Amino acid sequence: MAGHSKSVETPLAAHSSSADYPWLMARWVIRVQRGGPWDFSKDMRQQDGWDDHAAYMDGIFDEGFLLLAGPLEGDKEAIWGVEAESSEQILERMKEDPWSPNGMLTPTKIERWDVVMDRLPKPNNIRS
């Protein structure tokens, strides 16, 4: 399956915001590793700092940055689908997560995702 790497970015996107050029938004997939003080004997909702992390996730979901998220089989990693201008913007937003500084959640791979079929709402860069 062909795709774009996280380093793909238009020159205009590097100097502009989506408020000026909404068609610059792209969809991305982030593989997120659980670690640091994560207690694998407990459910995600029983981890230290869950309430703060859940509030952060609710916030980025309500803003439209986070499109979907969930753990992968084995419970050591999760996948996030986001809409963002660049991988740099994603990393900056993920640093705001209360589970980020202590290593409970660490992005390990960020890839641009050109969705060709889905049932999700259309991204900002597709005009009707």
Note whether residue 126 is domain-resident: no
Instruction: Report if residue 63 sits inside a domain.
Output: yes
pLDDT of residue 42: 95
Is 123:116 a contact under the CB 8 Å cutoff?
A: no
Q: Residue 58 is part of which domain span?
A: 20-112
- The confidence band for 123, taking pLDDT boundaries of 50, 70 and 90, is low
Q: Is the pLDDT of residue 90 over 60?
A: yes
pLDDT value at 117 more than 60: yes
CB 42 within 8 A of CB 86: no
With 90 as the cut, is the pLDDT of residue 104 above it? Answer: yes
> What are the distances in angstroms from CA 43 to CA 48, 54, 58, 60, 73?
11, 14, 18, 22, 13
Does 41 fall in a domain? yes
Domains in the chain: how many in total? 1
DSSP H or E stretch at residue 58: helix 50-63
- Greater confidence (75 vs 57) lies with 57
Q: What is the CATH number of the domain that holds 56?
A: 3.30.70.1060
Q: Which pLDDT band holds residue 94 (cuts at 50, 70, 90)?
A: very high
12 against 48, higher pLDDT: 48
pLDDT on residue 76: 96
